A and B are shown apart, each in its own frame.
Chain A
Amino acid sequence: MSEETGERIFNGLPAAGGIAIGPAFVYEREEVFVSERVLTPDEVDREILLLNEAMLRTRQELERIVSFARKKLDDDAAKIFESQLLMLEDIEMLHSLERRLREEKKNADFLIYDELKRYREMFDGAKDIALRERMADLDEVGQRIMRNLQKKRLHLTVEGRHIIISEQLTPSDTLLFSRNDVLGYATDTGGIASHAAILSRSLKIPAVTAMQGASKEIRTGDLVILDGQHGILIVNPTEEHQREYERKSSRIESLEAELAELVDLPCVTTDGHKVELSANAEFVDELEYIITQGSKGIGLYRTEHLYIAKGDFPSEQEQFIEYSATAQSMYPQTVIFRTFDIGGDKHLNRGIPEQNPFLGWRGIRMMLDEPDLFRQQFRAILRASTMKNIKLMFPMISGLSELEEVLGIFEEVKLELRDKQINFDEHMEVGVMIEVPSAIFVADELAKRVDFFSIGTNDLVQYLMAVDRNNELIADLYQEFHPAVIRALKTIIDTGHRNNIWVGMCGEMAGNPLATVLLLGLGLDEFSMVPSVIPEVKKIIRSTNYEDAQRIAHQALQLPTSRKVRDFLEAYVRERQPQMMAALLNDDPDGDGNHVSALPVSRIAADEDHGPGDADSDSGKKTED
């Protein structure tokens, strides 16, 4: 189908919610080129004059942007431009420029370029996203001065309603394009916490980021669909997709208002059964967004991003700062930290080649071989726990002896802290992730030693089905609705409850609206997911009767194939949640049961340990098992 119509689907990160459908406008940012020149003594004074003129002009531009930003944006977003203005006036930079101009006698635009390079080197090692964003701001200010020195103009106008596609958008591109009738933004680079993403949310313009090269594949005028909630861009969509998204878009508008009202409401079924919805997170910068989505805390905090960002293990102090900042900003909600899960797809083993890293030295296996690193992490987490809102869990536990070894080290570290009279939460809850199939069969023993289970469905499904979901040849065998999977879930949840511990889930399945009623009915106590889907899942739970859900789960458990389970759940959602189904799935009024649409829903989360683009999930594929 896709060859005939030329439809292409790109997966990125959801930066700002909403759906946009319209022609693409591919924006190629005009690069400023500089060449190095040596000035004659007479030219130096003139160059200083030109620099001052360019500075003045830049200042006027920025002041106009700031006043426009104040009108159009919330306070925090407008601050981004105010700080750009401060950068322009930075006395150190001004002095350094003028001094170098006189001493080195070089052209001003080259010197600015050179100064920026110096700062970039300084920021390059920065692990902090916020810091990298500030470098991007500084870069933008520098580019603006250079452009003014070269007397060039930027053209940020576009006729008619378009979706702007670009390799990158600076904060002011994002703001200034919005003066036109812009429908959405899609960029190759950037992150959820980037300034451009913050601005898109503040402007309420749907945006997708981290599209990894999509801008090179799209031409101005191509019809595109941008799904800012799920991070999807569809180029030259099939008519089917077009109709589907047009329907979704109009329904989302009415749904959105309704979902917004849900943020502060408890997550409880119509008959009073309460569950927790929480968010998966890895950066402090995401927390603000998480809170606005109505999350009850963080159900999975991936600590390994600290390692990935730094390229090495962070010190105890670095970890402590990160963990306490996270705990404090979520307070009084809780944060569940997962100890380093390095290895597997993260390719970070210490240069020892592994034929099969997913079955190799990863997670708890690696940490047990490096007990000093483990102790460091435990100390940092314990020290950060004084507000008593931190929980801890261990990945890749395959059996009791591993768990006992981990808990042994944990207790030793507690003892050491008590000796040193360092405060920590003596009653911190600890849990294990259930993701290695062997753990299911010893869950009874594991449950007796911990306070909770958290089911990591992404790995669990892979290991249970023996399917590497990054392998395209077999990715369709990765089926989270396979009877073996849902029966395993039942065993895990029942075993947990029998031992009086709660059971959560932090894999993609927890955020798949199609799975919500099933998981609720199986008795899951906590659902942890990408923040953007929390309102949808909450809405489903709040309009479901717990007894109904239990019956649905019971019936689903009897079904023999993945396809039958899916169809059964879809039929239920379509009947009971027509509005939700219409907005989320392709609810075809003619009822021809078309399934193409399910694709975006389960792509919701390029989540749980898989980067964007590789989370090729089962839905949308019509494979019979």
Chain B
Amino acid sequence: MIERTVTIRNRSGLHTRPAATLVKTAARFASEFYIKKDSFEINGKSIIGVMTLAAEQGSTLVLTFSGRDETEMAEAVVGLFEKGFGEL
């Protein structure tokens, strides 16, 4: 299992577009992917779950990946956060 901590950099947080990008990217991989914010954890492959996080700019999220392609998946997903979902 891989665990990564990321901060949301783009200003409008995980709103409609970034949430969709995140879920679509995650769907390309077989591994399980969970996102934890404060004490709340959701499935990172679920758009509704990501919506309920209501993650705003500046929030810190803990991402966990587990499965056979977890390394590639972690790289792809963390990359999205680092690039601010192309909104920086």
Q: A residues engaging B (CB < 8 A)? A: 76, 79-80, 82-83, 86-87, 90-93, 119, 122-123, 126, 128, 130-131, 134, 138, 284, 320-321, 324-325, 328-329
Contact = CB atoms under 8 A, between A and B. Distances in A.
B67 interface: no
Nearest to A88: B47
Contacts of A93: 46, 48
Closest 7 CB pairs of A and B: A92-B46, A86-B47, A83-B20, A90-B48, A325-B11, A83-B16, A134-B51
Contact of A126 (B15, B49, B54): B54
B24 interface: yes
A119 B52 contact: yes
A325 B45 contact: no
Given A92-B45, A130-B15, 4 more contacts: A83-B16, A90-B48, A131-B54, A324-B58
B23 interface: yes
B43 A79 contact: no
B39 to A, nearest CB: 15
A284 B57 CA distance: 12
A138 B17 CA distance: 15
Contacts of A83: 16-17, 19-20, 47
A130 B51 CA distance: 10
Contacts of B45: 91-92
Interface string B28-49: 0000000000000011011111
B15 A119 contact: no
Interface residues of B, number: 22
Contacts of A325: 11-12, 56-57
Contacts of A90: 46-49
A134 B14 CA distance: 12
A214 B88 CA distance: 42
Contacts of A123: 52
A134 B44 CA distance: 17
Given A86-B20, A325-B12, A92 B54 contact: no
A23 to B, nearest CB: 35
Nearest to A87: B47
13 contacts: A79-B17, A79-B20, A82-B20, A87-B48, A91-B46, A92-B43, A119-B48, A119-B52, A123-B52, A128-B56, A321-B56, A321-B57, A328-B11
Nearest to A326: B11
Nearest to A131: B54
A284 B11 CA distance: 10
Given A90-B46, A91-B46, A92-B46, A284 B12 contact: yes
Nearest to A328: B11
Contacts of A80: 16
Contacts of A119: 48, 52
A92 B17 contact: no
B77 to A, nearest CB: 16
Nearest to B48: A90
Nearest to A285: B12
Interface string B2-32: 0000000001100111011001100000000
B54 to A, nearest CB: 5
B47 A122 contact: no
Contacts of B42: 92
A411 B49 CA distance: 43
A63 B43 CA distance: 24
B43 A91 contact: yes
